[in-house]
Amino acid sequence: MTAKAPSGVWSAVKRLGARSRRWDPLCNLGEMETLRLAGIRIFADLPEDELAAVANMASESEIPPGQLLAAEGRVGYSLYAIESGTADVVINGETVGTIGAGDVVGEMAVLISPPDWSAPPEVAIGGLRTASVVATSPMRVIMLFKRDVWALDGRAPVMTQRLRAVLDERRAQDAERALGNQRAQSEQGGSPGSDPPAGNA
């Protein structure tokens, strides 16, 4: 059952601007031990060469509470693997879930279509975000640009297969949620223009 998002969360969604879409990465992960990446579920148990490939392309950011990781209906440029912290997933003003350490967000906009390889990675156009994601605690996230994710398809095939599995699961959840909304609307009186229930004609 969905819950109405707190006013502060919904206000953060509506206040999206350039500041909330662009973060300066704290550092590239290439010089860091791959053990840190391996502690995040999507990267766990990857071969060492795949972990190294991801580390060479990934960057990290710290996100304060109330900050947006993604805004529903906006173009997505990157995906995020959550190392620590929590966030609410908001669709049409309703909180539909909570995510935390080990979860991945933003994969749908990134994987929906190949990137423009001639564009810089930070502006390679992605698909539209299907939900807003708002930090509810201090967060540390590992960020991969759309173009880098697609480039890893050959260098880190196990990881990209996992990402596509997450994508398939999210699509199934979205379809189930849409069906549930349709059923709820039907139970509340049917769709506009529908025939009256039998016996009321």
Give 28-84 pLDDT, tens digit per residue.
555 456 888 999 999 999 999 999 999 999 999 999 999 999 999 998 889 999 999
- Asked if residue 176 belongs to a domain, the reply is yes
- Cα within 13 Å of Cα(185), Cβ side: 9
Number of domains in the chain: 1
- Asked if residue 177 belongs to a domain, the reply is yes
For residue 180, the enclosing domain spans 3-113+122-187
Higher-pLDDT residue of 192, 50: 50
- Asked if residue 89 belongs to a domain, the reply is yes
- Cα within 13 Å of Cα(181), Cβ side: 11
Look up the CATH number of the domain holding residue 139.
2.60.120.10
- Asked if residue 197 belongs to a domain, the reply is no
- What ranges in the chain are assigned the alpha helix state H? 7-14, 18-21, 34-38, 48-57, 107-111, 146-155, 157-187
For residue range 119-156, what is the model confidence (pLDDT) as tens digits? Answer: 665 554 567 888 999 999 999 999 999 889 999 988 99
Nearest to 39 by CA among 67, 65, 60, 66: 60
Return all residues near 115 (Cβ < 8 A) that are at least 6 apart. 124, 125, 126, 146, 147, 150
- Asked if residue 34 belongs to a domain, the reply is yes
